[in-house]
Copies of this chain bind each other. A is one copy, B any other.
Amino acid sequence: MLRVGVIGCGYWGPKLIRNFMTCSETELMWACDVDEKRLDKISSLYPGVQRTTQLDDLLADTGLDGVAIATPVNTHFPIAKACLISGKHVLVEKPLASSVQEGEELVQIARKNNLQIMCDHIFCYTGAVRKIKEVIQSATLGELLYFDSVRVNLGLFQPDVNVVWDLASHDISLVDYLVDEKPVLVSAHGVSHTNSNIENVAYLTLRYESPFIAHFHVNWLSPVKIRMTMIGGSEKMLVWNDIDEAEKIKIYDKGIKVKERDLEQRERLLVSYRSGDMHAPRVDRTEALALVVKEFADCILHKRPALTDGEAGLRVLRILEAADLSMKAGGSSAAINYA
């Protein structure tokens, strides 16, 4: 039984708490927040859990195995660092930290201290994405050609991070999880329609050594909510519409066959089209956060890297940071430094 604490009880924290409560491998010891009112809510639901406004109380608890951090992004680093130094395994809400440098330091400290640091890339644990992973691994789609995602709605304007860090971080973690090849360049265009200079509409393009291309449209100012991802393959193509409760994933037996160019008919590109059935596999509905919590427990108990470990969180940060650079440079490609 893993003894854990949750730091930050705003929006995401209570969900983590609920899942730690029902997970058979974890025991929730602490709820921590600077706001007593938030703690009151937790206490009314779970009177047995210790509460505190002082992070030090958790750091000092030598019986505590791990913590989950669900605080504002700019506090991820100091809190996670303190927890790691005091010997706690750490689960951090995405993104892992505010910069690559911070992320690297966290990963190093964790490695040195033999501790797990895991990033809560929540979508990687949904039934839809687990099914997509299975489909890709089974080579059903053939060679991957492109990954296109639209993640837009009238969204919460964040005060400290832009729409890329807020929304595209999800898509970046998904591409990282689903696609073996790693991007080398990122090009991003973003605009701000407030006087904050925080981008609220942005387009990201990831370029790879191969012709594979990934593109994300993220937007806090869309009148409609769209959560749609298309993955084109040489054999089949997949559409994931996360808003369609009944048929989240559709796999289309559609594509082209490129033939050798006929020498005598130079003008004609020899492409033939294929259009067949569509298949919508059943998608498991287990709450993703329940699996995140279980993965955190399992990776600690079995001393193995988590599915979305610190390295994964760090790769996402590298792309986010390069995207910011590119946006500031008007869309010029920025190299992703895997150093």
Contact = CB atoms under 8 A, between A and B. Distances in A.
Interface of A: 45, 47, 145-146, 148, 150, 152, 154, 157-160, 185, 187, 189, 191-196, 198, 201, 203, 205, 207, 211-213, 215, 217, 219, 221-225, 230, 232, 234, 236-239, 246-247, 250, 252-256, 258, 261, 267-269, 271, 273, 275-282, 330-333
Given A213-B189, A275-B154, A258 B221 contact: no
A224 B205 contact: no
Contact of A193 (B145, B148, B152, B223): B145
B258 A195 contact: yes
A105 to B, nearest CB: 24
B267 A160 contact: yes
22 contacts: A45-B45, A145-B193, A154-B255, A160-B267, A185-B330, A187-B187, A187-B189, A189-B213, A191-B211, A193-B258, A203-B203, A217-B217, A219-B232, A221-B232, A221-B255, A222-B230, A225-B246, A253-B282, A278-B279, A331-B331, A331-B332, A332-B332
A270 to B, nearest CB: 9
B217 A191 contact: no
Contact of A279 (B193, B207, B256, B280): B280
Listed from nearest, the 10 A-B pairs whose CB atoms lie closest are A223-B252, A223-B237, A278-B280, A157-B271, A159-B269, A191-B211, A187-B331, A194-B258, A189-B205, A223-B254
Contacts of A222: 230, 232, 237
Contacts of A195: 258, 261
A150 B149 CA distance: 11
Contacts of A237: 221-223
A260 to B, nearest CB: 9
B269 A277 contact: no
A331 B207 contact: yes
A18 to B, nearest CB: 12
Q: Give the number of copies in the complex.
A: 4
Given A246-B225, A282-B276, A271 B239 contact: no
Contacts of A256: 154, 157, 194, 221
Contact of A254 (B154, B211, B273): B154
Contacts of A331: 187, 205, 207, 331-333
B215 A203 contact: yes
Contacts of A282: 253, 275-278
A157 B272 CA distance: 9
Contacts of A246: 224-225
A96 to B, nearest CB: 21
Contacts of A276: 282
A126 B205 CA distance: 32
A225 B246 CA distance: 9
